[in-house]
Structure 1
Amino acid sequence: MKTSILLISLPKKLPPFSLLSLASYINAKTEHRASILELSGLADPAAAIAARLKADKPGLVGFGCFTCDYPEVMRFAGVVKESSGCRVVAGNVHASLYPEDFIFPGSPVDYVVVGEGEVTLAELLDRLAAGGDPAGLAGVAALADGKMLVGEKRPLIADLAVLPRLDYGLIPMEPHFHPANRAVPGFSARTATVYTSRGCPSKCEFCAANTVWKCNSGPPVRFRPIEEVMAEVRELKEKYKIQCLAFGDDSFLLRKDRVLALCAAMKELDMFWAVQGRVEHISAEVVAAMKDAGCVMIGFGVESGSDSILARIQKGINTAQIRGAFALCKAGRLARMAYIMCNHPGETEEDVRLTVELLRETGPDGINQAVLTPYPGTAIYEKYVGKKPENYRLFSNIGAELTTYFKLCAHDLPMDQVLDAYWLAVYAWRLPVSLTAVFREPGYLRKVLFTGYFSSVASVILKDTAVWLRYRAVAAIPWPARSLLRSWKHRLEKLF
């Protein structure tokens, strides 16, 4: 017997890759059917869910859930129950780490898929289609005699070659591919995100990734066959006219031999692309190969310019390695993006000063700033916050206001002031990446000029330049006056 599942994606900037992978696997590897409903841009998501349930009559409805999504997932699961009575399954990070938040008497969620989901979801659908009870199924949490029962850990998929290629026809991809999204900072082109591996071996205390992968058994880092990756890339280029790729792997640079092999394959396609990586995995040989193959940018998780902070958060790197990696990329004419955070546990004003100093010295081409947030599932959350479901709604906030609820640093500097200092350390004299990319990468301008997106590139450059000029003007204002202006701006935004 067969059944169907409707996977519902909450509004997100990026495509719902996890749901795409689940649906693609179900459709390609089982007799069941999977479809996806995206809620982005819908005026009345609840009404859209009810209408889709009435039209499709699925046997199961699924939600992916991060902590920031928890209130909405539970609300929409209630909509499903009220409008159709359909069974509901939840998965992804928060559901995997805290299945007890979903599985309890009276909950609108019936099942949780714990950890990697493709095989588990397929077996759950098999069990439901046969009229069986999923309680006790490996990788599934469900109620049994009024109490939550979690099945044994399911092994991770050892050979990622068994996974089918993502079926991008399951959702409208055009909005996600559009140049305006700028999936690669500074580059305005038709861009797709591609994953060549799964898993991360690092133990950074601010990240939940290593905790999530432990929900299954087996080595966490696994790689897709290069030929399968390239088949997906060719399809994206030919079918969807993709010009740029953002490789989203946590561990792209982990194996030098694999990186060099991917570079050799990418060189034949005449595309530009970007990656994220760790500073200890880069080398002059890898930089040269990546640049020659069309790579335009690499993002490094710098996090802090203080060695004591890097040790405290178990980043596994030091500032000497950061300086070395940035120098190698600069010599190889590869743009560098620095991912940086403030509000580290115990962070002092001296740590902030050291971070500003490091940013000035290394001179990244761009910066991605964040206020460290102790998300559930991270070691920092367990150490400094502890499980408090009443706080889940707070994780939908972003930026400096988070320190109102989760202040971890030891100094009293306003987070806006710290973020400004980091921004100015990078952009004091450096032009926006969107402008420098035109001069650094001649092929970039040629590709977008003849594909109808030049106006989008020009618009991005103008907007980024205007923002840069505004920040330069604001930087001339003493901090107390700048802070006052900010508070007035926030008050006006709340009023209007």
Structure 2
Amino acid sequence: MKVFLLEHPRRIAPERCNDIANAPLSSSLVTGCIAGMVQSLGHRVEIAEGFLDQLTYDEIHRRVAEFKPEILGVHLVYVWGNNEELFAFLRRLKTEGLVGKIVGYGYYPTFAYEEILKACPEFDGLFVGEPELSVAEWLAAGKPVPGMAWLDGNATIQIRRRDLNKDLDSLPDPVRTPAMMRMAEVNIEGSRGCYGKCTFCYINPYYGENSCWRPKSPERVIAEIDRIIAEYGPRKFYFTDPNFFGPGNIGRERALKLAAMLKERNIKFGIEGRVNDIRPEVISALVDAGFTEMLIGLESGRDESLTRLNKMTTVAQNEEALRVLRANGIEPSVGFIMFEPDSSLADVRTNFEFLKRNDLLKNIFTTANVLYHPQIILQGTSAYRTMQQEGRLILRDTTYEGRAAYSNAAVARLAEIIGRMTNHLFIAMNRVWQGQLNEPSNAAELYQVITKLLVERFENTLARLEAGERIDEPAADNIVAGTNSKIEAIFVTFPKGERYRITDPAIGCGCGS
């Protein structure tokens, strides 16, 4: 049997370019994981990297026609807009008889399967949750199996969840395409799930009821790394696990064992994890083994907010994690929720002072993210259910993404102003990342000017609102226009680039902050 897997083209609206949490980084491996399972069963697989290779739908159509697959699988990634172009393409393939069955998979269809099946009944089914065992069973059965949602003969939506796979070591290696191997880091998975239950996170709901942190054995992880090194030579790796460490002593001992084994490979790698798992002896061992970068979810500088978010961490643990990492030469990337639906100006001020106190407003990209990010409310999270039950959920033309109006008008105004500024910055930076502009020799100095500008604008605007000033829409427009013109004046000095490049898939890190 021939199976064609598609990472569909993704066009993100400029105003959403800083909204990164449409899917966790681990989803970047889901197509490869399915391909590995399909190959292990003796079937032929072809993968089209619609995003990384910048393919048009006409180019994908040609490849499908040449391959003549019985099955087309689509990794459905939410791109902050309707997928009508993709759905029209799938209808075309079905109408022309180029594929027998079409299935979808990923985080988006796991939660929004109803709207997808209604919008595109050409799908013969959608895999919900981790797909490997369901795909294998479906290929053998030829009909819906546990781990799928589908339309029955009466056009009624049906769904059956699958029990957790507790033996991750038994899964084959994911297939990695040439496009993936051109990237700066090789994504690798060491575990799935998390023992936390943050209100904004949909990682455990993706895996299903009673999901938890499930590790692969250190030996299994190292064996995959060794196979990659043997084929491609030494590479830098990035663990896509939302929780690299795992809980308590079990997680600590496993991390130390992995560190000892990784050290023998003489490679560099990055990880993601929770602040309460940052232990000096483990971090020291990992750094000695080649650990160079980390994403941690601080989320707030106020204990009341951390409780509201059900982080099961404290501000003191946030600060201790930063201290330990920096003492070992690691300056982490951080997840941070500056604006919650129920934030007060006092909450925002506490967050801002926390960021200043902990030197998190010195790097342009960290600064732009932590000053702006609101709580993103995606289907599958407990925050989504709470807002829905309270009648506060406002949907964005899709069931998958919602928002809640701020309960404090001053906070809403500040979030709007800062969001417009930082989004303008990221649109400008995107021209650099895509090769349309080149960084001048003094780029670091120019970025510091922008960083200082953003911090000053945030603090000044916050102080005005704290003093009781009402900043109306024209006044807000003036603040934003003045700031953005200064940002644009800096980027005008950047020399034009010579090419357009893709550096990373349109998939966010972490779990939805």
> What TM-score do the two structures reach when normalised by structure 2?
0.73
Provide closer, same or farther for how the CA distance between residues 44 and 160 of structure 1 changes in structure 2, counting only shifts above 3 A. Answer: closer
Q: Is the 8 A contact 1:36 1:171 kept in 2?
A: no
> Does 2:398 match 1:384?
no
Cα offsets for 1:200-227 (capped at 9, x unmatched): 221111111121121xx66432111212
| 1:248 match | 240
Aligned residue runs from structure 1 range 51-450, under 5 A: 51-68=62-79, 71-72=82-83, 73-84=86-97, 86=99, 87-104=101-118, 107-128=121-142, 134-135=143-144, 137-148=145-156, 150=158, 152-168=160-176, 170-177=177-184, 191-214=185-208, 219-254=211-246, 255-364=251-360, 367=366, 368-369=369-370, 370-385=373-388, 391-392=397-398, 406-408=404-406, 410=408, 411-415=411-415, 418=418
2-structure distance, mates of 1:393, 1:363: 38
CA distance, structure 2, for counterparts of residue 242 and residue 355 of structure 1: 41
Partner residue of 2:35? 23
CA distance in 1, matches of 2:151, 2:37: 26
Tell me the amino acid that sits aligned with residue 20 of structure 1: G
- In structure 2, the partner of 1:47 is 58
CA-CA distance at 1:160 after TM superposition: 1.0
Other structure's SS at 2:337 match: strand
Note if contact 2:453-2:483 (Cα within 8 Å) is conserved in structure 1. no
Identity %: 22
Structure 1 residues 461, 288: CA separation in 2 closer, same or farther (over 3 Å shift)? farther
The Cα of 1:351 is off from its aligned counterpart by 0.9
Cα pair distance change 1:348/1:422, threshold 3 Å: farther
**Equivalent of 2:3, from 2, 5, 22?**
5
Pair 171,82 (structure 1): closer, same or farther in 2 beyond 3 Å: farther
User: Which amino acid counterpart does residue 466 of structure 1 have in structure 2?
Assistant: L
Total equivalences in the alignment: 426
CA apart distance, 1:486: 4.6
Give me the whole-angstrom Cα distance separating, in 2, the residues matched to 1:422 and 1:338: 16
Match of 2:451 in 1: 471
The CA deviation at 1:488 is: 6.1
Q: Distance in 2 between matches of 1:469 and 1:238?
A: 45
How much does 1:69 deviate?
6.6
- Residues 67 and 376, structure 1, Cα contact 8 Å, conserved in 2: no
Residues 1:357 and 1:105: Cα distance change in structure 2 (over 3 Å): closer
Secondary structure of 1:155's match? Answer: coil
Q: Is the 8 A contact 1:104 1:146 kept in 2?
A: no
Secondary structure at the aligned position of 2:334 is classed as strand
Q: 1:322 to 1:417 in 2, by over 3 A?
A: farther
Three-state SS of the structure 2 residue aligned to 1:246 is strand
**1:388 Cα deviation (Å)?**
7.5
CA offsets per residue over residues 61-111 of structure 1, 9 Å max, x none?
111224437732434322332343632111111212232223359712121
Aligned-residue RMSD, C-alpha: 3.5
Measured after TM superposition, the shift of residue 237 of structure 1 is 3.6
CA-CA distance at 1:281 after TM superposition:
1.1
| Larger RCO (CA within 8 A; separation ≥ 6) | 2
Map of 1:439 onto structure 2: none
Change (3 A) 1:47 1:409: farther
CA contact (8 A) 1:160 1:223 kept: yes
Q: Work out whether residues 394 and 404 of structure 2, in 8 Å CA contact, stay in contact via their aligned partners in 1.
A: no
* Cα displacement string for residues 271-303 of structure 1 (whole angstroms, at most 9, x for unaligned residues): 222211111112121122122222223321011
Is 47-56 or 235-244 further displaced after alignment? Answer: 235-244
Which residue identity lines up with residue 173 of structure 1 in the other structure? M
Quick check: 1:104–1:148 contact (8 Å CA) kept in 2?
Answer: no
Deviation at residue 482 of structure 1 after TM alignment: 4.6
Q: For residue 5 of structure 1, give the secondary structure of its aligned residue in structure 2.
A: strand
DSSP-derived class of the 1:381 partner? helix
Describe the SS at the equivalent of 1:103.
helix
1:374, distance to aligned residue in structure 2 (A): 1.1
SS in 2 for 1:290: helix
Deviation at 1:336, TM superposition (A): 2.6
Alignment partners' CA distance in 2, 1:327 and 1:192: 28
Matched residues in 2 for 1:34 and 1:388: separation? 41
Partners of 2:381 and 2:357 lie apart in 1 by 31
SS at match of 2:293: strand
The answer to whether 1:484 aligns with 2:481 is yes
Separation in 2, partners of 1:327, 1:347: 27
- 1:230 offset after TM fit, Å? 1.4
Distance 1:242 1:482 in 2: 49
The question of whether the paired residues in 2 share the 8 Å contact of 1:264 and 1:293 is answered with yes
Deviation at 1:419, TM superposition (A): 6.7
**Contact 1:155 1:218 (8 Å CA) reproduced:** no
AA aligned opposite 2:414: P
Give the AA of the match of 1:53.
Answer: V
Mapped to 2, the partners of 1:422 and 1:350 lie a distance apart of 22
Do the aligned residues in 2 keep the contact of 1:68 with 1:394 (CA within 8 Å)? no
Equivalents in 2 of 1:74, 1:296: separation in Å? 41
**2:318 & 2:7 partners in 1: Cα distance?**
37
Separation in structure 1 between the aligned mates of residue 440 and residue 29 of structure 2, nearest angstrom? 26
Separation (CA, whole Å) in 2 of partners of 1:125 and 1:237: 32
Q: CA contact under 8 A between 1:342 and 1:418: conserved in structure 2?
A: no
Using a 3 Å threshold, how does the CA distance of structure 1 residues 44 and 277 change in structure 2: closer, same or farther? closer
Query: Contact 2:379 / 2:399 at 8 angstroms: preserved in 1?
Result: no
Q: Identify if the C-alpha distance between structure 1 residues 43 and 204 changes in structure 2 by more than 3 Å, giving closer, same or farther.
A: closer
Letter in 1 for 2:482: L
Quote the offset at 1:156 in angstroms.
1.9
Which structure 1 residue ranges, 5 or more long, are not aligned? Answer: 129-133, 178-190, 396-401, 424-457
Mapped partners of 1:408, 1:349: distance in 2: 11
User: How far apart are the structure 1 equivalents of 2:55 and 2:188?
Assistant: 31
Aligned residue type for 1:25: M
CA distance in structure 2 between the aligned counterparts of 1:206 and 1:74, rounded to whole angstroms: 29
* Residue identity opposite 1:124 in structure 2: W
Task: Supply the distance in 1 between the matched residues of 2:119 and 2:358 (Cα, whole angstroms).
Answer: 55
Per-residue CA deviation, residues 424-454 of structure 1 (Å, 9 max, x unaligned), is xxxxxxxxxxxxxxxxxxxxxxxxxxxxxxx
Deviation at 1:489, TM superposition (A): 8.7
Separation of aligned partners in 2, 1:420 and 1:107: 38
